[in-house]
Amino acid sequence: MNPLLPRLYLLAVLAWPVMAEAQTLPSAGRWTNTLGMVFLPVPSAGVRFSIFETRVMDFAAFATTGPKLDGTNWNHALYHEVTPVSPGPEYPVVNVSWNDATAFCRWLTATEQDAGKLSSGFEYRLPTDAEWSEAVGIGGQESGATPRDKNAKLANVYPWGTQYPPPPGAGNFADLSAKNYFTNWPHIEGYNDGFVTTSPVGSFTPEPSGLYDLAGNALEWCADDYDGTHKQRVLRGGAWINCGPKSLWSSSRTHVAPGRFSVATGFRCVLAAKP
User: Digits of tens for pLDDT over the chain (275 positions)?
Assistant: 444 333 333 333 333 333 334 445 655 689 999 999 999 999 999 999 999 999 999 999 999 999 999 999 999 999 999 999 999 999 999 999 999 999 999 999 999 999 999 999 999 999 999 999 999 999 999 999 999 999 999 999 999 999 999 999 999 999 999 999 999 899 999 999 999 999 999 999 999 999 999 999 999 999 999 999 999 999 999 999 999 899 999 999 999 999 999 999 999 999 999 98
Give ∠ CA 218-266-238 in degrees, rounded to 5.
30
Rounded Cα gap, residues 159 and 251, in angstroms: 10
Query: For position 3, what pLDDT does the model report?
Result: 42
Smallest CA-to-CA distance from 177 within 197, 161, 148, 152 is with: 197
Rounded Cα gap, residues 33 and 109, in angstroms: 10
Smallest CA-to-CA distance from 49 within 63, 31, 36, 64 is with: 31
Is residue 204 helix, strand or coil? Answer: coil
Strands 83-85 and 77-79: antiparallel
Query: For position 244, what pLDDT does the model report?
Result: 87
Query: For position 29, what pLDDT does the model report?
Result: 82
Smallest CA-to-CA distance from 136 within 245, 241, 45, 227 is with: 45
Rounded Cα gap, residues 43 and 29, in angstroms: 11
Query: Sheet of 219-225: strands edge to edge?
Result: 253-256, 233-236, 219-225, 265-267
Domain 31-273 has CATH 3.60.40.10: no
